[in-house]
Amino acid sequence: MDLEKDWDRFKALDLELVSIMVDPKDQLAAAVRQYGITSVVAMDQDKSVSEAYNALGASMHPGVKPGHTFVLVDKAGRIVWRRDWGYEDLGMMYTEVDDLYKYVSEWLEKTGG
């Protein structure tokens, strides 16, 4: 949620925030309402996107459902940053927004993205 609240400076880098989840539409809609999500939420019910970005492995249900994997992808579909929180990390599922911004902006500057 902190990332969404602080998204304006990421937008200035010409980035878009999209959450991709495999849950059914009614569950996604409930989560959007519950957490006050205002960014785009996309369904991946066939798990093709999750499979393409290898997000089904780091999970309490490997191969069945993504766990807590966060992937930032550039416009060409290349992974810029990822973090997989495994079962042992569940209490620490957080990345500082400032750290993420610094990493992404440096990566974009380095690659001309």
For residue 28, pLDDT over 60 is answered with yes
For residue 91, pLDDT over 70 is answered with no
Residue ranges per structural domain of the chain: 2-107
Q: Check residue 108 and give its pLDDT.
A: 86
Q: Check residue 53 and give its pLDDT.
A: 86
Please, are residues 95 and 102 in contact by the beta-carbon 8 Å criterion?
no
Q: Among candidates 57, 56, 27, which has minimal Cα distance to 43?
A: 27
The phi and psi torsions of 19 (rounded to 5 degrees) equal -95, 130
- Considering the domain delimited by 2-107, tell me its CATH architecture: 3-Layer(aba) Sandwich (3.40)
Q: Check residue 64 and give its pLDDT.
A: 81
Q: Check residue 30 and give its pLDDT.
A: 93
105 sits in the region (left: phi over 0; alpha: psi -120 to 50; else beta) called alpha
For residue 37, pLDDT over 60 is answered with yes
For residue 8, pLDDT over 60 is answered with yes
Cα angle 28, 26, 8 (rounded to 5 degrees) comes to 30
pLDDT-derived band at 89, boundaries 50, 70, 90: low
**Rounded distance between C-alpha atoms, residue 94 and residue 111, angstroms:** 26
